Copies of this chain bind each other. A is one copy, B any other.
């Protein structure tokens, strides 16, 4: 018997099966189009896998959001108020439960990735940490006391306030709700709009990266002040620019201004703000972690 996982992102879906995190047998990826077409492709993959490997032991889904994670809600496991109109109000968890007659473990894509990093990656053994992804958007998942953060809805860490020096950076921000929140200033689309070039085409020594690091560092401050995590993991396409890490760490320490007396945020900073140990696999392995019930670490 095998486990199944779906990394349901806003732009692409990854479906995989395997016997464990170290043994992904097969994987397929396709663009996120309409829910009907996307789900059909996912089912096509899992149908084939079940024919080949036998029935699924469990299925985990890490979904783009916002999603309803309240087990008492009639909309539990649905995608809710996404700007992707075709996906608004779509039942995600229930669809696959009925289709395969199994319980599906469902959470946000970032909570899933956080769970994978805690189970097998950079946060292994930690009870309190955060995973923040900076890509097309900015989103975060986190674990407190060994449990994923759920509440009224789920974390929306990308929308925290940051400060912008309007003279240094006249770009007004790309968030449709808040303009110059963290996501509005630091996600991929903001970089491209500000500089007229996508981030991946900006040279390593472009001034964009100092500004970017400054905004990201500001965005990490509330994570430290509110959650006091043992580690902050930064993933997502923007963080592929690896020169960002030392810059972010430096600005983060600058903004703390000596306030938190702990070696982790001083001499230990290189091991405090880190890339995901699972790299690009964090998302799909997160779906596996959900399926395998690593839910409580």
Contacts and interface: CB of A to CB of B under 8 A. Distances in A.
A258 B177 CA distance: 7
Interface residues of A, number: 48
Contacts of A178: 255, 257, 259
Given A155-B228, A225-B157, A227-B226, A261 B149 contact: no
B128 A151 contact: yes
Contacts of A142: 226
Nearest to A162: B161
Copies of this chain, complex-wide, total: 2
Interface in A253-274: 255, 257-262, 264-265
Most-contacted residue by chain B among A142, A222, A223 (CB, 10 A): A222
A269 to B, nearest CB: 12
By secondary structure, the A interface counts as loop
Given A128-B152, A145-B150, A257-B178, A160 B226 contact: yes
Given A178-B259, A259-B177, A226 B222 contact: yes
Contacts of A144: 144-145, 147, 149, 151
Interface string A126-137: 011000000000
A163 interface: yes
B259 A228 contact: no
A237 interface: no
B262 A152 contact: yes
Given A145-B148, A157-B225, A163-B163, 12 more contacts: A152-B260, A153-B262, A154-B228, A156-B228, A160-B225, A161-B163, A177-B259, A178-B257, A178-B259, A222-B225, A223-B226, A227-B227
